[in-house]
Structure 1
């Protein structure tokens, strides 16, 4: 894909988790995790259902404060949500009464972008994610993959320095999911940012991640680096290693 927009930022945001513990109703679901996410990398969180992946992602977004430890975005302690950290869910979370363009404009309005400029920039971002000609469509008139493209455009339009993605392609069919994975990588290369991506699909993790953090029962079991170039043999060996960790 050839980018039509200048990169929003030159680098992403560094994220640091230091002895992070998260509890619900007296039950600890994330146990003293230490993890550093480098600026501009794609870190994938994998693990079985209920291991704390989504909880950890929401803590990075500032939607859930740690019970213990600290989370830092660059040098600032995370104490709540920020426009610099965009959260993308499996459910596209689009406002059904707003067109694709108007949904993307929401992120720009939060950034204080003037109305006239919002219209232009939202249109460009829709072009960027392959939705030329669909700006005036309502979400109900778009396929699942198209709605996820709108969500991706909305998330990136606000120029976040980190994008936190909670199984965003999990509900898509295989072909559409593959298309969205490629789109994400192409867009990330054109517009460098930090991405933390949650998935239970190891093949998806190996395709997208620079590193893969393996969680088990709320604890960090290992961080696996995915070398370049990513050959089928390398992926197979890493997949077996991660399966053993799980």
Structure 2
């Protein structure tokens, strides 16, 4: 895997969903190897932007560029991790991860051992032969994380991947993401409506507004990634940039 990740650029981007524009004139750059968090009010187009970055949605106008090349379709260099469990239910944990390795062109002879290493990285050793239905929600998300990164993508788009988890499991997954990202560097674009999650996960936070005011704020998050450490002023700044108070958890 690249140690720098992928540079992503959005230039005067216009995106529609259901016929109505939800993003209008967005300019944003994602630095190689960073975790950029997208947050904002419901309906501002966070997930729509993510789908466009992944090549799943064609812009109405404007450009999306990945390492200098226009994004016109999906690519194994740009993986997606959704909130909803997208694992293949008839495949075991190991088989789900091996599929990602197969699609990435890994030689068949080494897929099993590589899949087992990824499963160990996300703390699921001993569950290799389990089907998804036999796993908890948090465990399924661990498999999704392993599968999303196993193909060595240079960018990973994550659409509220921990939103359906209970608080304790969610905190555990946030820390696991950071740990795994540090061990396997890539560029991550992470969508959330949770301000505290944004502050814990992100290197930078982009607060999106509604169409006509696409980018309300772009903020750097200081290190280290520790909750409630030197975050009060930044948290207040993010909240002030949001349109609706109910977005704050």
TM-score band (shorter)? over 0.9
Output one character per residue of 1:29-70: Cα deviation in whole Å (capped at 9) or x when no partner. 111100000000000000111110000000000000111100
**Shift of residue 233, structure 1, vs aligned partner:** 5.2
- 2:125 pairs with 1:124: no
Between the two proteins, the alignment pairs up a number of residues equal to 239
**Which of the residues 231, 234, 241 maps onto 1:238?**
234
Q: Counterpart of 2:60? A: 67
User: Over aligned residue pairs, what C-alpha RMSD do you find?
Assistant: 1.2
Matches of 1:241 and 1:208, distance apart in 2: 17
Helix, strand or coil for the counterpart of 2:88? coil
- 2:67 pairs with 1:49: no
After TM superposition, the structure 1 = structure 2 runs for residues 88-237 of structure 1, keeping only pairs within 5 Å, are 88-218=81-211, 219-229=214-224, 232=228, 234-237=230-233
CA contact (8 A) 2:208 2:215 kept: yes
Q: Counterpart of 1:35? A: 28
Matches of 1:27 and 1:76, distance apart in 2: 27
After TM superposition, the structure 1 = structure 2 runs for residues 68-83 of structure 1, keeping only pairs within 5 Å, are 68-83=61-76
Matches of 1:102 and 1:87, distance apart in 2: 18
Matches of 1:223 and 1:234, distance apart in 2: 18
Helix, strand or coil for the counterpart of 1:11? coil
Segment of structure 1 superposing worse, 21-30 or 169-178: 21-30
User: TM-score if structure 1 supplies the norm length?
Assistant: 0.94
Matches of 1:186 and 1:103, distance apart in 2: 21
User: TM-score if structure 2 supplies the norm length?
Assistant: 0.93
Matches of 1:199 and 1:111, distance apart in 2: 28
Matches of 2:89 and 2:109, distance apart in 1: 23
**Which of the residues 4, 10, 19 maps onto 2:12?**
19
Output one character per residue of 1:210-236: Cα deviation in whole Å (capped at 9) or x when no partner. 100001114111101112245635311
Output one character per residue of 1:82-118: Cα deviation in whole Å (capped at 9) or x when no partner. 0000000001200111000000011111112222211
Helix, strand or coil for the counterpart of 2:230? helix
- Unpaired runs of 5+ residues, structure 2, are 243-249
Matches of 1:229 and 1:169, distance apart in 2: 21
CA contact (8 A) 2:93 2:143 kept: yes
